[in-house]
Structure 1
């Protein structure tokens, strides 16, 4: 109880105590037994003061309270099965009138219990909402079964015309009942469905439509008819197809046809919370085949904001008409606005993330933080407001078991409500309520209407740009938008107007495009090359095609549109990325896009979010989700690279991070898929102990050397640690570990290279494994070590210098690293090493250079990257036996720095080679972004090339003419 209460509240408490005293005089023995429980005696004045319904129920029937107190049910949350069992025991009567009476008494008994626990502070909000929902479930299910049996006795069992199977009635609970969040005195929104048309099998058969119509009428009659004992629930069936004019009960086929042909946007919101209360075994297939495709789009559906604004406008008009400003459900900042915020994000992203397809608001709301849909402080405020308003809603309704959401005008009622909310006065309660509602209204406005776009003094300009006017009028409109040279832009807009893309747009798409053009053209007024930027933006629109939800995304989010225009102004490469992957537009919404440099930790968090989305998907969809993660991550790197000047080495680091994370994730997916069939691979060591075997992934080349580019493929080698004579999996379809690991490796390569709707993850090259294409795809660490010592060529040892274990069991990764260092120290044939390295380099230069006369191949020509890399590799192999620490790192720059710090190569030479290598890589990187080969004019890098050639000739001596 609150420490400070108003004088009015004290008077109300005194009135409750007087009523109790009078009741004790009339029936002392019963009340004496009730009040022996100290918890009841202490809480009774408060509960009766806050709920006239509870007080009247107890005064009229003290036995009700005595019974609840005696069996302890007053103090506990009702388990689902217990409540159902009690309903069967207490709700009796063969006649429908008798059933009505006992059902209403059952309902009153538990409504008293639930209100008492809530007001006394013995129940949490979640417990109260769950208790109320469970009670409704039990009552609906019981009435459905009783009335179904009565009709079957008269007409026979309804059976499907095709299947011949008995047909149940599926009752869908909607709204808060569907979400398991029913308020205290709520009506219940129901939809009645049955699987198949047909007829009953009795002596007086009727068709199924008639049977279920009568069943629905009986159920509504039992639940909603007022009697001297009240009613059970007010039943609202207006959410059914075609509302009041529609059939009371529909077959699944009719229901599906309605949603496909006539379903409206507001119904998508409603069906977010649809839950089967009866015939629950039939619901999963109905949900997967009918409801989920209707409610959740496979793409990001930002068009929901338009429908949400329309729905909110309708509610606002109703609030104004009925003067519902103080309505905690429908008024500004009320419960409905919180529900709209959550459901909007569910509809936008639920199709691509099934975790958002839940029905309970308090479960979904925190997930919006992880999806970067709402800030943490916004979710915290909305959670607090929702909990507060739901308690306030229940306190309003518990007073007299009335469906009201209106804050009272009467001074006494106000003080009573403040007391029920544990607040000292009405003024304090009003202040708290207003604070919560103002925060909700602010977040709702920001979410649904977006931040106000700055107009920079151009407030009078048109909100749309009509493409269909003649060229002269368009030119005038362009001038009004601030475009100084309208002719080239006008010509591009004329091309757009005559394009197939524009002709195929529906009315909604054209309206969105007109709105966007008006805003884009204003942004281009200060652009250095507005025609080029516009052309890039329009190409993206044309690639989007009829998927106008992406136009809705840009319409709804001014920041995303501004970022799109800025990126298109900056880079053709970035514009091409978005055109190829329109999902990247979603990345432009995230504030981190411009506020934070990309990091491995950020990518790991994003991948964890994607992992959650993959849990219930098939393997193909899992890879597609990974591909979407990869595209978004690489896009962020490219943006930071091209607009924020992210250093080249950091670019490679981040691209390497992305690849490593994806390889690790695909290895986990492949492992789960293969072990599900064959079990876990195990082996027995020489001591007779059983161990689980593991596979690791070793990266070579650019990935191993931390130098990955945007379009780089992956050079991968797979190794396992299984040894001994007993090597088999432990599943029902057991296979030898050798077979298991070959299939695991094949599966991993498949996941990395398979084409999805979003493209493939990577090209993968496994030819660097021992034995090349003739060798096993996956080999043991021991076999790898033996091959490297006995059979490997010098070029394979060169490749090993750039090898790193990037995925798999850490202990096996460490085994590989130890083997790598041992091979580089002791297996290299140093006699003739220089000759072998020189011969391989000459062969490459002859066969791989792409330069013509007057050109320089940055990688393959003399003095280029390959010469520099071969020099480093020669030095590393030559000295690894005496200085093993130099082979610790796998990237060229740190290898060079190790050679310098060990005084094996003069520091001045190291500095020159490092600087040259960075220059070469930077130039190659830009060429790759422009989509061209690593070839430049031979007037570039003259001093660098000469310096590398001089070092090569000095170190390799009789290397021949390297001009």
Structure 2
């Protein structure tokens, strides 16, 4: 590799300084001991030459070198006598050929492993001494290390191929040259690809194979055969034995490592990069180099990747994404500020990675049109950029000098103990060790040089990425490439507020590898990468961040596309805040948007929070939405789609506090009215088409319960009574398939129930309850108005008249609705025995309490003094009002309005105020709980965001305070109930 041979004896005097007198004594003792078996070492130790002082100093500074010298003393003899290039090239050749048969015997895997380790230890020892002695530069050190890695991987691959051939699993074209024509390709990535390996580098490789190369008997078996082979390759290279290891080997840069085998079919790899390849993978393949296996096939594979790596047009669009990759790998120490102790010379601010990204980003932008920029080595890339006038020669020189100085520092850090680290020591003593290894006399001048270098790099990099300050919103690693968790990233996620960082990292890797439709496009992933720090910060600040993030993942998995969402979130922080609030507070809403992502579209309306969801507002939108529907099934599906979206949007307004619980109840009810009206109209059209009409036929729907009093929640069912009428002499409908009156209106009612509650691909509208019709479940499902009138006048019980106080006509024939309202008014205007009514109300409340006791204080409907007590008070007052000479029609009013209308005349105003306060709080809490979760509320198990929202709704500092308020008001309501409904 060099024209003139170089020897370690050429080392300059005092090129490095020893660490301490104590260490000098220890190192001298080791060398003298070696001299007992190595004559040239003994001779050297007897003299006072620069080489002796150098060796002693080197062994004081590097415990690793001292240990190696002790284990393999012959290496010291070799180092001081042989030409360095010859020795290094000899060990590289020894590694490359260790797979070859000896005396017609193939070496065993153990023998290959021993040979490679012996060669690596020998080369590393000699190379470290040559580097420390300044006989080799950092460039040469990196090149020798890379050449040895090529040789070691090539030898291991040839051994594995030959072993597979001998066992009959493969049919090699030429067993004397196993890799040739095999179609098995090993691509060196990163510093290995650029021939810039660190002293203690991992090696990053990606393995592809051609199933049709002809060496696999059945191409279908290729994945399994080569997958097994790659596991053995990793073992050969990185397993620690008594002889050490060769290289830690990383295969995580292959396409989508979480779901692909260790060796990937070439066609699958090309398809992946073409359709789902990410910008960080483009950047990685700038350095991609065929290092082992079928080199010709490897070069062809890389040639086919050129359009993926280097796009045809100037690719400025990718600069933000590339920068966000850099932002993802900033580390806490050395990112926020320039430092020395504890600074990461690779990933920290002003470090090696910034120089690499400075070059690679511009290579990606312009490499498609300027082939000279497609070079693997960082120094060559900087030079090519200067020659192409992308940067000035001054910048190229500055960054090149900085690059090799920092690489020198990196080599020294790793030479100390053969550890794969890039972080400068925290202590003065250890920092002095690195400074001395670099030839500095003390740490002050070393620190000054380092800081100056970091600042040069930082300044040049920051000018390239002018958005640096804006984009670097998160300090710490955020690396989601590869298959394994990055330890620094896990620390960052923990610091952001996540309790299960490994789970979160796995989820985010799923996004980045395009496994969801929303993240399959390059543009969507670029936006997501740019958005990631803010996204993680926002979710991390929410309570129970992990649960919220996993709900967001579920939502993302159902989205048909993601670029619009990611772009909107990036430009609208309020939208991100709203999404986080949903995911952290409202699992029910999160499940809705996960299963029906279309409901999310409405959130993009900028007027969402400003416009109240009134009946007119909803009616206009429903009319427009239903207009294209042509068939009955289409109408039902569209009603369900509209209902899901509008319920969701009403819920969002409630969750954010844009509307309160009472307004939400009115909005949910107005929505229900419109949906029921359209469902009835659609059902009538269907029935009439099949069976015709009745002379004088009329139908109307009466809403009962919370539907009648405008108090539906997000999860309410609807209580309905279907009323009908027709001419007395009409016995049969006039259609092609005539029906008698009972069957006609029964079928119409059953079709309506199905239209509302039957599940379709778009879900259900409502669960329907018709038990409040005359005679309950025993009576007919449809009731003729005459029968309804007779029943209410002659047969209805007190509890049925109580239910009637909340009856309201929802839709249908206006004249029939007026008749029904008259029946209700007449039934409720009859003077009643107050004592009997009071007794009936108390008995009914006691029965409910016995058969449906409350679960806990949060069962706001059933607790003593809860919503049922308040509703019963309002209903009781409505029933006894006529006996007291009062005529107040409260049908069509909410419970709160009905309380006020009667309470002003029938109870102390303080009691009325207490009831209204309790009703407002219980309604608010109930609406929020039903919106956010399915099932009962548990203070311990509820999402923390929901707990916070409820506390805020009750104007309380925390959930304990809110619980106290519920207890206080419920106790007061129960006292008023006993007083009002007294015997």
TM-score of the two chains, using structure 1 as the length reference = 0.47
TM-score of the two chains, using structure 2 as the length reference = 0.46
Structure with max Cα Rg: 2
Q: Which has the higher contact order (CA 8 A, sep 6+)?
A: 2
